[in-house]
Amino acid sequence: MNWGTEVKRLARLAAAFAMVFPAVLVGTAQPASAQNDLRASCGEGYYCTYNDAGWRGCIALFEGNDANYSDNACYDGYVPFPVDNRITSVYNHGYPGSPDDIRSFRHPNYVEMIWFVPQGWYYSNVDEWCGALPCNDQASSHMWV
Ligand SMILES: [Ca+2]
Ligand SMILES: [Ca+2]
C-alpha cells in the first residue's frame, strides 16, 4: 500500500470537508495563512512540524536533532508561537541517506518515542501514527536516525 498516496487522499477529503463546513472548522479568527497546507513551505533537508492538523497553523523547520523544544518557535506569518507540546502534523522532507528518518519523543532529551516518520513521509495528524496514548500536542524532542 502506498501510504503517501493514501495520506494525500485523506488530506483531499479533509479539504473537501472543510469547504463544506467552514464555520465548524474555522471557529476563531485566524490569519488566512493558517488555513493553507504548508507542506510546500518545508524546504528539502528539513523535518517540519505544524501545530495544527493537515500541515496548517504554524510551521517549524529543523535541520538537525533537537533535544528540547522549550526554546523553539514556529511561525505563522511573522508571529512566533511555542512548538513544545503543540505539534499535530509533520513532514519529513529530509534528504535521502543516513540518517534520514525521524524519531519523535514525548519528553525532552529523546525520552519515550511516540512516532516515527520515514524519509519523505508526512502525517496530517500524528495521533493516527502512534500507540494507545495520545501523541497530539505531546512531542518535546526529535532525532534523525
Ligand atoms: Ca496542536
Ligand atoms: Ca512533551
In this structure, which ligand is nearest to the CA of 125? 1
Amino acid letter at 59?
I
Note down pLDDT in tens along the chain; length 145 residues: 455 555 555 555 444 444 444 333 434 444 544 468 999 999 999 999 999 999 999 999 999 999 999 999 999 888 999 999 999 999 999 999 999 999 999 999 999 999 999 999 999 999 999 888 999 999 999 999 9
- Report the 10 Å Cβ neighbour count for 99: 14
Q: What strand order describes the sheet that includes 122-123?
A: 79-82, 73-76, 56-62, 46-52, 89-93, 122-123
In this structure, which ligand is nearest to the CA of 112? 2
In this structure, which ligand is nearest to the CA of 126? 1
Distance between Cα 111 and ligand 2 center (Å): 9
- Report the 10 Å Cβ neighbour count for 4: 12
Q: Give me the long-range contacts of 33-41 (CB less than 8 A, separation at least 24).
A: 33/76, 33/77, 34/58, 34/76, 37/11, 39/91, 39/122
Asked if 33 and 77 count as a contact pair (C-beta separation under 8 A), the reply is yes
pTM (two decimals): 0.76
Distance between Cα 144 and ligand 1 center (Å): 22
The pLDDT value recorded for residue 13 is 46
Q: For the chain, give the number of residues.
A: 145
Distance between Cα 70 and ligand 2 center (Å): 9
Distance between Cα 90 and ligand 2 center (Å): 15
In this structure, which ligand is nearest to the CA of 50? 1
Distance between Cα 35 and ligand 2 center (Å): 25
Amino acid letter at 90?
V
The pLDDT value recorded for residue 5 is 52
Q: Which three cell numbers stand for residue 58?
A: 504554524
Distance between Cα 17 and ligand 2 center (Å): 30
The pLDDT value recorded for residue 78 is 87
The pLDDT value recorded for residue 131 is 84
Q: Going by CATH, does the domain composed of 31-144 fall within 2.60.20.10?
A: yes
The pLDDT value recorded for residue 141 is 98
Domain boundaries, the chain: 31-144
- Report the 10 Å Cβ neighbour count for 113: 16
The pLDDT value recorded for residue 77 is 84
Burial class (CB within 10 angstroms; exposed 0-12, middle 13-18, buried 19+) of 12: exposed
In this structure, which ligand is nearest to the CA of 107? 2
- Report the 10 Å Cβ neighbour count for 55: 24
